[in-house]
Structure 1
Amino acid sequence: MSTSQRSSGLPAQSTFTELPMPSQAPVTVVSPMMALPPALTPKQRLVHYSPDEWEEFIYEWVRSLREAGYVDVVGMGGSNDRGADIAAFLTSQKTDGRWHCYQCKHYDKGLGPSTAHPEILKIHSAVAERQYTVLPERYVFVAPRIGGTLIQLLAKPSSLKVSFFDWVKRNSAKLAQEYAGGLLERALDLADRSEFSRFEAGNLDTILEQHASTPHHVQRFGTPLPNRPAQEPAPAQHAPEEARYVQQLLDVYHEKWGCSPSSPAEATAHPRAGRNLQNQREAFYRAEQLRMFARDSVPEGTFESLQEAVFSGVVEVEEDDFPTGWARLKAVLAAARDMELGTNVLLQVVDPDDRKGICHQLANHDRLTWVQGEEG
Structure 2
Amino acid sequence: MNVAQSSSVSPDEPLFTRLPEPSQAPVTVVTPMMALPPSLTPKQLLTHLSADAWEEFIYEWVMGLKEAGYVDVVSMGGSNDRGADVAAFLTAQKTDGVWDCFQCKHYERALSPAVTFPEILKIHSAVAEQQYKVLPRRYVFVAPKIGASLVQLLAKPSALRSQFFAWAEKNKDRIVVEYQGGMLERALGLARVSDFSRFEAGNLDTILEQHATTPYHVRRFGTQLPDRPASEPTPPEPAPNEARYVQQLLDVYHEKWGCSPASPAEAKVHPRAGRNLQNQREAFYRAEQLRMFARDSVPPGTFESLQTAVYKGVVEVEEDDFTSGWARLKAVLAAAREMQLGNNVLVQVVDSDDRKGICHQLANEDRLTWVQGADR
TM-score scaled by length of structure 1: 0.90
Equivalent pairs, count:
348
Match of 1:34, SS state, is coil
What CA deviation, in whole Å up to 9, does each residue of 1:312-362 have, x standing for no partner? 111111111111111111111111000111110000000000000011111
What is the CA-CA distance between 1:269 and the residue it aligns to?
Answer: 0.5
Aligned 1:253-264 pairs, distance under 5 A: 253-264=253-264
Distance 1:28 1:246 in 2: 58
The aligned residue for residue 213 of structure 1 is: 213
Q: What is the root-mean-square deviation of aligned Cα atoms in Å? A: 1.4
What does residue range 55-94 of structure 1 map to in structure 2 within 5 Å?
Answer: 55-94=55-94
Q: Match for residue 142 of structure 2?
A: 142
1:366 matched to 2:337:
no
Alignment of 1:191-210 (within 5 A): 191-210=191-210
1:136-175 aligned within 5 A: 136-175=136-175
Letter in 2 for 1:266: E
Q: What is the alpha-carbon distance in structure 1 between the residues aligned to residue 73 and residue 161 of structure 2?
A: 28
**Which residue in 2 is equivalent to 1:239?**
239
Q: Which runs of 5+ in 1 are unaligned?
A: 1-26
- Corresponding residue for residue 21 of structure 1: none
Residue 288 (structure 1) aligns with: 288
Q: State the shift of 1:233 in Å.
A: 1.6
1:46-65 deviation digits (Å, cap 9, x = unpaired): 10000000001111111111
CA shift digits 1:212-268 (9 cap, x unpaired): 111111111111111111101210011111111111111111111111111111111
Distance 1:360 1:73 in 2: 36
Partner of 2:3: none
Percent of aligned positions that are identical: 78
TM (norm. structure 2) is: 0.90
**Which structure's CA Rg is the greater one?**
1
> Which deviations, in whole Å up to 9, do the C-alpha atoms of 1:113-143 show, x marking residues without a partner?
1100111111111111111121111110000
Q: 1:236 to 1:206 in 2, by over 3 A?
A: same
In structure 1, what is the equivalent of residue 124 of structure 2?
Answer: 124
In 1: Cα distance, 2:154 partner to 2:344 partner: 44
Q: Structure 1 residues 252 and 146, CA, compared in 2 at 3 Å: closer, same or farther?
A: same
Give the AA of the match of 2:315.
V
| 2:94 maps to 1:97 | no
Matched with 1:178 is 178
User: What's 2:21 paired with?
Assistant: none
Taking the TM superposition and a 5 Å limit, the aligned residue runs for 1:218-233 are: 218-233=218-233
Please give the alpha-carbon distance, in whole angstroms, between the structure 1 residues aligned to 2:269 and 2:240.
21
The aligned counterpart of 1:110 is 110
Per-residue deviation, 1:186: 1.5
SS at 2:33 equivalent: helix
Note the C-alpha offset of 1:32: 2.9
SS in 2 for 1:35: coil
SS in 1 for 2:92: coil
Any gaps of 5 or more consecutive residues in structure 2? 1-26
Which stretch of structure 1 is more off in the superposition, 94-103 or 338-347?
94-103
Please give the alpha-carbon distance, in whole angstroms, between the structure 2 residues aligned to 1:241 and 1:95: 40
Question: Equivalents in 2 of 1:32, 1:317: separation in Å?
Answer: 49
Greater relative CO (CA pairs within 8 A, separation 6+): 2
**Is 364-373 or 139-148 further displaced after alignment?**
364-373
Which residue number corresponds to residue 17 of structure 2? none
Quote the Cα distance in structure 1 between the aligned partners of 2:60 and 2:239: 35
Q: Tell me which residue corresponds to 1:352.
A: 352
Distance 1:95 1:264 in 2: 54
Q: C-alpha separation between the residues in 2 aligned to 1:135 and 1:322?
A: 68
Residues 8-35 of structure 1: CA deviation (Å, up to 9, x unaligned) = xxxxxxxxxxxxxxxxxxx976313321
CA distance in 1, matches of 2:119, 2:373: 71
Amino acid at match of 1:238: P
CA distance in 2, matches of 1:265, 1:357: 21
Distance 1:246 1:271 in 2: 17
**Cα distance change of structure 1 residues 130 and 373 upon mapping to structure 2, 3 Å threshold:** closer
- Letter in structure 2 aligned against 1:41: T
Displacement of 1:183 in angstroms is 1.4
Higher deviation after alignment, 125-134 or 327-336: 125-134
